[in-house]
């Protein structure tokens, strides 16, 4: 069993965390990861309250019933900018809105952790404070709630730790699939910088530092642990599971893809009209006609976030989706997708990652013995 500060703090059997992937990670996936000893996050970014509750129930049904006032081995991820939009601003009053109802639904399920990401500094500080205060007010658990933050650069990590009292930081490099900063450094460089600076920040609480981006096998997992990470965030590998919410067509595209088939672009949100992300946040996914058409126009635009012809591109995307055509599909994927070529149950994925990590760590230890 691989034990780190993260596994000890959250009573996990493995330092593998399944990231919150909106539209991909639901209750079935999270429950399967939990049963295998890891921590999975429901991607609640675009869900409403009934959808969130349904996925929470699905995850809870997959795990053993916890003792009264104990936390359930699952997590729930929210988008900060989306919470603020639903609330009509940052929390500051007792007004009940869709955003606060979402938070309540999450907290009442007694999760081990919530993950909040992508918003302004005010979003991060005020929503994290609101979540902690509301959790204390509900008083349902005798264990502390852990709040995870995504950091795409060193300053985001510092702010989350010092100002938001983050319990865990995911150092997400540009290799990651899905949304992230267009200017993020490599995963390894960002992780090393955060680990170097962390002792100087005088964190008000213990902080687990996770590595995220392009991690799709056990060898990569072991490498990050050797570099000093307390755990790893895995996304793309879990997309190729029966439990993932991705369509069969998307899964087949992923199974055939290589890391060189991925690209960072604003095209994915442009096509789906999922507008509202903070400036500088784009996404990594599989290259497609959707990306090619967008980039052909974007190279002549003043800003990649404001490219003429969006309505026409969105209409073509909707039509292709309705017809079941795959050449325009938005399929998020990290650079580690080339290590993934088969669909297998999430429990088997967890066991494979853990076994491969053990082998790699033993190999690394053998180097010290000559």
End-to-end Cα, the chain, rounded Å:
24
| Segment 251-306, tens digit of pLDDT | 999 999 998 999 999 999 999 999 899 999 999 999 999 999 999 999 988 877 78
| Segment 311-330, tens digit of pLDDT | 999 999 999 999 999 999 99
The label of the residue with tokens 């053993």 reads 64
pLDDT at 176 exceeding the cut of 90 = yes
- CA-closest candidate to residue 165, choices 118, 222, 127, 120: 127
What's the burial of 241, exposed, middle or buried (CB within 10 Å: 0-12/13-18/19+)? buried
**What pLDDT shows up at residue 304?**
73
What's the burial of 117, exposed, middle or buried (CB within 10 Å: 0-12/13-18/19+)? buried
CB atoms inside a 10 Å sphere around CB 130: 18
Q: Are 132 and 170 contacting, i.e. CB atoms less than 8 angstroms apart?
A: no
Domain boundaries, the chain: 5-246+340-369, 258-322
What does the chain come to in residues?
370
**What pLDDT shows up at residue 275?**
87
Give the confidence band of 81 by pLDDT, cuts at 50, 70, 90.
very high
Q: Which residue has the higher pLDDT, 31 or 90?
A: 31
pLDDT at 340 exceeding the cut of 80 = yes
Q: Are 152 and 178 contacting, i.e. CB atoms less than 8 angstroms apart?
A: no
Mean pLDDT across the stretch 194-210? 96
pLDDT at 192 exceeding the cut of 70 = yes
Give the confidence band of 92 by pLDDT, cuts at 50, 70, 90.
confident
- CA-closest candidate to residue 285, choices 169, 173, 180, 210: 180
Give the confidence band of 185 by pLDDT, cuts at 50, 70, 90.
very high
**What pLDDT shows up at residue 370?**
66
**DSSP conformation letters of 138-196:** HT--SSPPEEEEEESSHHHHHHHHHTS--SEEEEE-TT-SEEEETT---HHHHHHHHHH
Radius of gyration of the chain (CA): 20
**What pLDDT shows up at residue 93?**
64
The label of the residue with tokens 């990670």 reads 25
pLDDT at 350 exceeding the cut of 70 = yes
Mean pLDDT across the stretch 190-212? 96
CA distance 19 to 149: 11
**What pLDDT shows up at residue 94?**
65
Mean pLDDT across the stretch 4-9? 98
Q: Are 236 and 213 contacting, i.e. CB atoms less than 8 angstroms apart?
A: no
- 5-246+340-369 belongs to which homologous superfamily? Aldolase class I (3.20.20.70)
**What pLDDT shows up at residue 356?**
97
| Segment 134-152, tens digit of pLDDT | 999 999 999 999 999 999 9
DSSP SS3 for 281: strand
| Segment 9-42, tens digit of pLDDT | 999 999 999 999 999 999 999 999 999 999 999 9
DSSP SS3 for 240: coil
Q: Are 327 and 253 contacting, i.e. CB atoms less than 8 angstroms apart?
A: no
pLDDT at 180 exceeding the cut of 80 = yes
């Amino acid at each position: 069993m691989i034990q780190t500060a993260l596994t000890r703090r959250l009573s996990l059997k493995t330092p593998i965390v399944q990231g919150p992937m909106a539209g991909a990670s639901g209750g079935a996936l999270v429950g399967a990861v939990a049963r295998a000893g890891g921590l999975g996050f429901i991607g609640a970014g675009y869900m409403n309250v009934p959808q969130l509750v349904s996925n929470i129930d699905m995850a809870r049904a997959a795990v053993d019933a916890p003792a009264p006032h104990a936390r359930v081995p699952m997590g729930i991820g929210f988008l900060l900018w989306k919470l603020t939009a639903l609330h009509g601003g940052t929390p500051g009053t007792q007004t009940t809105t869709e955003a606060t109802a979402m938070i309540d639904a999450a907290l009442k399920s007694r999760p081990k952790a919530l993950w909040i990401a992508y918003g302004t500094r005010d979003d991060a500080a005020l929503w994290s404070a609101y979540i902690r205060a509301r959790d204390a007010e509900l008083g349902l658990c005798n264990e502390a709630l852990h709040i995870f933050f995504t950091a795409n650069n060193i300053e985001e990590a510092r702010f989350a730790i010092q100002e938001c009292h983050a319990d865990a930081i995911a150092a997400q490099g540009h290799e990651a699939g899905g949304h992230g900063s267009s200017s993020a450094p490599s995963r390894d460089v960002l992780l090393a910088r955060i680990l170097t600076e962390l002792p100087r920040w005088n964190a008000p609480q213990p902080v687990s530092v996770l590595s995220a981006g392009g991690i799709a096998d056990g060898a990569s997992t072991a490498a990050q642990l050797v570099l000093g990470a307390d755990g790893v965030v895995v996304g793309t590998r879990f997309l190729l599971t029966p439990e993932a919410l991705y369509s069969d067509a998307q899964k087949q595209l992923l199974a055939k893809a290589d890391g060189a088939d991925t690209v960072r672009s604003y095209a994915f949100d442009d096509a789906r009209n999922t507008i509202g992300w903070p400036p500088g946040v784009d996404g990594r996914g599989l290259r497609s006609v959707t990306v090619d058409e967008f980039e052909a126009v974007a190279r002549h635009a003043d800003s990649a976030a404001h490219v003429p012809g969006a309505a026409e591109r969105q209409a073509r995307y909707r039509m292709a989706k309705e017809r079941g055509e795959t050449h325009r599909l938005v399929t998020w994927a990290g650079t580690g997708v080339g290590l993934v070529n088969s669909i297998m149950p999430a429990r088997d994925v967890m066991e494979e990652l853990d076994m491969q990590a053990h082998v790699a760590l033993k190999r690394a230890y053998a180097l010290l013995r000559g």
